[in-house]
Amino acid sequence: IGSSISDHDNWDGADRPRFINSAVAEEQRIFSRLEKLGSSPNTFRWRANQMIVPMGEQRKKPFRQPAPGASIDEVWGREPQRQIKRPSRIILVRHGESQGNTDEDVYGKVSDWRISLTDKGRTQAARAADFVKDVVGNREVFFYYSPYSRAVETCQIMLEAFDPIKVRGIREDPRMAEQQFGNLQDPEMMKRIKNERHEYGRFFYRFPSGEAGLDVYSRVTSFIATIKRDHVEEDCAVVIVTHGLSLRLFLMAWFRWTVEQFESTQNPPNCGVAVLERVDGTYRLTDATCEMIGCVNDSPTSPCIGELWEKDDEGATGARSPVVEKGPPVGVEAPASGEVSAQVLCRSRSPRQQEVSAQVLCR
């Protein structure tokens, strides 16, 4: 059933025989009690979950059937989990206008991460600082920033608006840097590539010698884990000075948007501010933020075919529109409507959904 304490302990001296004899005797008493318990059918569950371990170690408690409706904490005998404290505000700021925003030829002459702000960009950063200061209020604030020069300058200008006593910390984090488009860029080639990306999709399109949106998403997800680990206080706000695409991918990872939801959003303007407010233990974007990037405060949507149509009590279909399938390739005969209906209905999860799906498909 388990290992003997005499097999693990190596004692020297005159007391060794006496110690071993007493330990073995104790184990024999334990085994004897277990044999008596094992003769009763009601103790089978207990015996299946009991482990004999060397003396001095914590023994597992007997398994008890949980009461109906018991929580996970009650089943495992744990204290109810308390809500973890989090910053009351998480604020993401896109950098101010850079030289590359006004003249794309700069990307072919200067390293992307060394491109600085324009005079207009510095003015934008000062205005954004006043806005962020109002959002933060009297709370302490922690700043993260991308190592790109335009983000560093924006962060420096914003810091000037804050009382140093209220600044809890400042940290550079490369995971919030801009998407890598390659090294020095040929302007004409980049125009063609960006048009191709527009058709392909921003999330999965990979720049030659650069990154795809998926790569940025992966490092941003890692950065979110750092925030959740390092900030467990309520009297603090976190400000992240970053880039347009990185900002949207941060929100995608935080709110678990689908790729389709991400593709429907747009980059904020230079020094655009996205605010996440914590209300009743849950973060939500402000209405101004949703309007700025074109999103809504809804949960992620990844419905199966059977959930694409909903029907209310009056028999009207729900707000969602059915997915429109593309036609078959040229030269391939289209399947009969009944075959299509059968294929879709097989994916439905309930007779009611099958009935609704059949009505929509027949139309």
Catalytic residue (choose from 27, 97, 178, 211): 178
For the question of residue 211 being annotated catalytic, the response is: no
Is 198 a known active-site residue? no
Provide the β-strand partners of residue 167. Answer: 141
> How far is the C-alpha of 253 from the C-alpha of 264, rounded, in Å?
15
Catalytic option among 95, 97, 211, 231: 95
Q: Which residues are catalytic?
A: 95, 178
